[in-house]
Structure 1
Amino acid sequence: MIDQLSWKVGGQQGEGIESTGEIFSTALNRLGYYLYGYRHFSSRIKGGHTNNKIRVSTKPINAVSDDLDILVAFDQETIDVNYHELRSGGVVIADAKFNPSIPEDGKATLYEVPFTETAKELGTPLMKNMVAVGASSAILGIPADYYQEVVEEIFSKKGQSVVDKNMQALQTGAEQFREQAGDNVDAFLLEEADGKKRMFMIGNDAIGLGAVTAGSRFMAAYPITPASEIMEYLIKTFPDFGGTVIQTEDEIAAANMAIGSNYAGVRALTASAGPGLSLMTEAIGLSGMTETPLVIVDTQRGGPSTGLPTKQEQSDMMAMLYGTHGEIPKIVIAPSTVQEAFYDTITAFNMAEEYQCPVILMSDLALSLGKQTVEPLNFDNVQIRRGKLDQAPDLPVQAPEEYFNRYEYEAEGDGISTRLLPGTENGIYHVTGVEHDETGKPSEKPENRQQQMDKRLKKTQTVPYRFDEPVYRDEPYEKADLLVVGINSTRGTIQEAVSRLREEGHAIHHAHIRLLHPFPVEELEQALERTEKVVVVENNATAQLANIIRLNTGVNAENILKYDGNPFLPGEIYRECKELL
């Protein structure tokens, strides 16, 4: 028996590929296996090749595997596109409908199971995915009835007969595979898992859950891949907590609505991808100038323009840091796991109010849509911090010509002034996007301009010291031959590559940037001092993270870049790092 394997299902988009992977993995998750999945899909609604690769293990895993043990194919294109990933001794389980064929290289064994024909005999060809799940369960040695609970949850609303038909399809698929394979696939029998209950979720769902937990009750957004799941999650969840979601006409309106909500005292967010972030830049400046909290989630994808809407990339970093015209305080947070996506979303809301500025939560497609096993989240340590928001001030009566000093300047202060909610008695002040004095009234006086700029820019100086673990560091050696640096979803992949190199006797350190702006210079410099050489791993063509590191530390790093739309595999980073040693 084995403790882990890699499984992939592929076919044309719209024929049940996603649901096949979902049903297969959900049952395994409930048995206590650790899972890590990544879905390759087309930017079309229907048609075009899609696949879902899932790694299954009895131990924690944080990346997809380099190779593939089992390929489930709904068409010949799936075999043609993905066969090269199969390891020697791998298996292809294909729908007999299309007369499948594999290369005559002896690397893999083909089993033809009549997915479509069996489903038709049971009532509808739509159930062919259940036949495929049954065949997959048989090769892993998992009894088909283990899927009963999952099937009931998915299909119970359609009636018991639908549940029974789908279970019959699953059981028939398992029987058909066993009839062909016999005892020839014992190599794929999985060891028993620990049976513990864990979540299995995508990063976008974790962000949505984090927003609810942080006390947010409003989201304004325009649907866009790969951010839409955040909106969809909150559409279902917010009403249970008195919140709501508005689908706006564009991202400009979404950002401005979120600013308005935060100004009124209701924690709000918006979420988008690179093209939407471009449209929000003026609103981000408004948030900075008016010192109004704003939380934006940017789920990076392939660009520029429409680019590769459904593919992995990390090329928005410079836009997030420097895209806004003028100079404003801004915070950019970069979670690297699904767990961090939950906790960092809460931190984003807290910091937006504490520092009264825009906070961008930076994700990427692999983190936002990749599905991972997640240990139980700790809600006991969640804190809601609203900063200098005075909700019940005792203010003196204002004369008609007097206004509250909302943007009060103190030469020795931290730059963060008291914020009031609209309608506060004796708390009237101006709010404008033009330069203003302490009361918010427009002012172009040179001295006032310099004071207000100093005030705003001073605010975020303490962020790196108040952010919990701004740089994740794994440093088991006194001095390393190589330090590998990454950001967002590359963390687990780097960890696996580093682990392989350490097993070979190399002293390798790993640092992962979790706070991109203001940059945690001191924290990273401590890691840089303990290594001979630095390499930065990132999914873009221009080494954006490496350039940001050089700008802040003066260190010139080697680069491992990938920008073909696919996430890194552990073996790719392993081989590139080994060449540098």
Structure 2
Amino acid sequence: MIDQLSWKVGGQQGEGIDSTGEIFAMALNRLGYYLYSYRHFSSRIKGGHTNNKIRVSTKQTRSISDDLDILVAFDQETIDVNIHEMRDGGVVIGDAKFNPVVPEGSKVRLFSVPFTEIANELGTSLMKNMVAIGATSAVLDLPAEAYTEVVEEIFLRKGAKVVEKNMEAIKRGAAYFTEAAGGPLAGFQLNKADGQKRMFMIGNDAIALGFVAGGVRFMSAYPITPASEIMEYLIKKLPQFGGTVIQTEDEIAAATMAIGANYAGVRTVTSSAGPGLSLMMESIGLAGMTETPLVIVDTQRGGPSTGLPTKQEQSDLMAMIYGTHGEIPKVVMAPSTAEEAFYDAVEALNIAEEYQCPVILLTDLQLSLGKQSVEPLDFGKVEIRRGTLDLNAELPEVEGGYFKRYEVTESGVSPRVIPGMKNGIHHVTGVEHDETGKPSEVAGNRLKQMDKRLRKLKNLTFNTPVVKYTPNEEADLLLVGFNSTRGVIEEIIPRLEAEGLKVNHAHLRLIHPFPLKEMKELVDSAKKVAVIENNATGQLANILKMNLGSHEKIESILKYDGNPFLPSEVFNKCKELV
């Protein structure tokens, strides 16, 4: 019996690869296993190789594995592309339709199962994925009944007959494999899971759920990979709470519409990826100058330009901090798990309103689209804070008739009103202005308004700006990352400790303003610092150097080929550093 197993299904986009992985994972999730899945897919609607690699474990896991135990192939390309991941003794299950072969000398066991033929016998080739799931179940020695609940949930709306046919496909696939293999295969059966109920969701859905819980009632956005699922989720959910989503003509319209809605007092968000954020930069500056709350999700992907729209990268970091022309207060948050994505989505809304500034919720493709087990969320932790905005306030009459919307205050945060509030009339403009919003180019006023805006964030409070693992007062190696690299870093720490190394870990959840105190203590107490990130120029490492110095001890471990880090890659690079 084993505690974890890695499974992958592959084929051409559009032939049910995603649904195969989804049904397999959902069934194991219902049994109480921890899961982590990562999809490789092409930048097209149909055609091109795609695969879904799913890690199943009795313990929490947040990264893809180095090797592969079981490969389900719907075409020969799947075998050719993925065979290098197979461990010795692993199993390849291929559709007999394409006469699967493995390279000569491969130490894997190949089973040719007639997915398509069995499915056709049952009435439609579309059920070949269910036959494949059945064959997999035989390898794991799972009964077909483990899939009943999931199959009913997906297909019952099409009728009981469809459910029956799909269950029959699973049973026939399992029976064929069992006969071909001569019984269950040793070494592939998982230890029993804890049976606990957990959600199984992508980071984008966690963010969208956080927005709903946090009071968002309007979203303006333009669809773009890998951010579109946020908009798609809210299109379904917001109308149930009196809200709505508008698909705009472009990202410029999305950002400016979000600014307008926030100005009117509605909690509003938008989301995009790198190319869209480039278009939003002027609007982000407008939100900073007008001190209007604005929450934007940036799901990083491979760039520049169209780049690698369906591949992993973390190369927007500098742009998100410094991309806006001029100088404005801005907050950049970077959740590293789906749970954090949910809670940080709520907190982004609160911070945007409390400090009246743009907040960027930075994720990456692996976090946004990678599906993972999520412990039950605590909605009791959800708190809505609107800062100085009080919709029921009775404003006093003011001298001159104009409300000091941009009043210079010690905290840097000015009183906020929305249109229609009695005695709250003021100017709003993107040019420099005085306390009432009236345009002003007077040098002294400029200094006062700039200083006011920029001192806001000196008082920023953020719960857990750095996720720490610090068992050592002095470490041989401090591992630093952000977003989805947390999973692979956490996985290699025990392996490095087994080598006799003292290892600490700091994962940045708040990147800007930079958590200077927390990071300085950790960097100063480490002999060497390894910054793990998916880009070519070491952007996070450079931010550490800009804020902390310590150039001589900070090293980069980089990967920018479009694929996430594998545990062995980071482990080997860390060993080289020390």
Q: TM-score, normalised by structure 1?
A: 0.98
| Deviation of 1:402 (Å) | 2.1
| Deviation of 1:65 (Å) | 0.7
The residue identity in structure 2 corresponding to 1:560 is I
1:364-384 residue CA offsets vs partner (Å, 9 max, x unmatched): 000000011111111112111
| Deviation of 1:394 (Å) | 2.3
Aligned pairs for 1:195-274 within 5 A: 195-274=195-274
Q: Corresponding residue for 2:449?
A: 452
Aligned 8 A contact 2:300 2:315 in 1 = yes
Aligned pairs for 1:42-441 within 5 A: 42-183=42-183, 185-398=185-398, 401-410=400-409, 413-441=410-438
Structure 1 CA distance for aligned equivalents of residues 203 and 282 of structure 2: 27
1:213-247 residue CA offsets vs partner (Å, 9 max, x unmatched): 10111111000000000011111111111111100
Structure 1 CA distance for aligned equivalents of residues 328 and 547 of structure 2: 18
Query: Which of residues 542, 559, 566 in structure 1 aligns to 2:537?
Result: 542
Aligned 8 A contact 1:390 1:418 in 2 = no
| Deviation of 1:492 (Å) | 0.9
Structure 2 CA distance for aligned equivalents of residues 26 and 503 of structure 1: 34
Aligned 8 A contact 2:152 2:163 in 1 = yes
Three-state SS of the structure 2 residue aligned to 1:380 is helix
Q: Corresponding residue for 2:489?
A: 494
Aligned 8 A contact 2:138 2:184 in 1 = no
Structure 2 CA distance for aligned equivalents of residues 272 and 77 of structure 1: 32
1:199-225 residue CA offsets vs partner (Å, 9 max, x unmatched): 110000000000001011111100000
Structure 2 CA distance for aligned equivalents of residues 292 and 443 of structure 1: 19
The residue identity in structure 2 corresponding to 1:568 is F
Structure 2 residue 526 is the aligned partner of structure 1 residue 531: yes
| Deviation of 1:156 (Å) | 1.2
Aligned 8 A contact 2:23 2:150 in 1 = yes
The residue identity in structure 1 corresponding to 2:561 is D
Q: Corresponding residue for 1:14?
A: 14
| Deviation of 1:522 (Å) | 0.8
Structure 2 residue 10 is the aligned partner of structure 1 residue 36: no
Aligned pairs for 1:457-536 within 5 A: 457-463=454-460, 466-536=461-531
Three-state SS of the structure 2 residue aligned to 1:186 is coil
Three-state SS of the structure 1 residue aligned to 2:82 is helix
| Deviation of 1:396 (Å) | 2.7
1:262-288 residue CA offsets vs partner (Å, 9 max, x unmatched): 111110000000000000001100100
Q: Corresponding residue for 2:564?
A: 567
The residue identity in structure 1 corresponding to 2:538 is A
Change beyond 3 A, Cα 1:104–1:184: farther
| Deviation of 1:138 (Å) | 1.2
| Ranges in structure 2 where 5+ consecutive residues have no aligned partner | none
Aligned 8 A contact 2:334 2:482 in 1 = yes
Structure 2 CA distance for aligned equivalents of residues 304 and 103 of structure 1: 36
The residue identity in structure 2 corresponding to 1:392 is N
The residue identity in structure 1 corresponding to 2:455 is K
Structure 1 CA distance for aligned equivalents of residues 462 and 442 of structure 2: 36
Aligned residues: 576
| Deviation of 1:257 (Å) | 0.9
| Deviation of 1:62 (Å) | 1.6
Structure 1 CA distance for aligned equivalents of residues 530 and 190 of structure 2: 37
Structure 2 CA distance for aligned equivalents of residues 161 and 395 of structure 1: 66
Percent identity, please.
70
Three-state SS of the structure 1 residue aligned to 2:411 is coil
| Deviation of 1:478 (Å) | 2.1
Three-state SS of the structure 2 residue aligned to 1:481 is strand
Aligned 8 A contact 2:36 2:373 in 1 = yes
The residue identity in structure 2 corresponding to 1:524 is M
Structure 2 CA distance for aligned equivalents of residues 548 and 360 of structure 1: 17
Structure 1 CA distance for aligned equivalents of residues 60 and 247 of structure 2: 38
The residue identity in structure 2 corresponding to 1:214 is G
Structure 2 CA distance for aligned equivalents of residues 390 and 243 of structure 1: 21
| Deviation of 1:528 (Å) | 0.9
Structure 2 CA distance for aligned equivalents of residues 481 and 141 of structure 1: 44
| Deviation of 1:398 (Å) | 4.9
Three-state SS of the structure 2 residue aligned to 1:552 is helix
Question: Alpha carbon RMSD of aligned pairs, Å?
Answer: 0.9
The residue identity in structure 1 corresponding to 2:125 is P
| Deviation of 1:106 (Å) | 4.2
Structure 1 CA distance for aligned equivalents of residues 330 and 444 of structure 2: 23
The residue identity in structure 1 corresponding to 2:421 is T
Aligned 8 A contact 1:227 1:272 in 2 = yes
Structure 2 CA distance for aligned equivalents of residues 107 and 204 of structure 1: 39
Q: TM-score, normalised by structure 2?
A: 0.99
Structure 2 CA distance for aligned equivalents of residues 462 and 130 of structure 1: 56
Three-state SS of the structure 2 residue aligned to 1:87 is strand
| Deviation of 1:392 (Å) | 2.2
- 309-318 vs 528-537, which deviates more? 528-537
Structure 1 CA distance for aligned equivalents of residues 141 and 498 of structure 2: 31
Structure 2 CA distance for aligned equivalents of residues 462 and 562 of structure 1: 36
Aligned 8 A contact 2:141 2:184 in 1 = no
Three-state SS of the structure 1 residue aligned to 2:419 is coil
Aligned 8 A contact 2:11 2:50 in 1 = yes
1:155-197 residue CA offsets vs partner (Å, 9 max, x unmatched): 1111111111111111111111111112361210111111110
- 262-271 vs 181-190, which deviates more? 181-190
| Deviation of 1:3 (Å) | 1.2
Three-state SS of the structure 2 residue aligned to 1:257 is helix
Structure 2 CA distance for aligned equivalents of residues 307 and 402 of structure 1: 52
Structure 2 CA distance for aligned equivalents of residues 564 and 194 of structure 1: 37
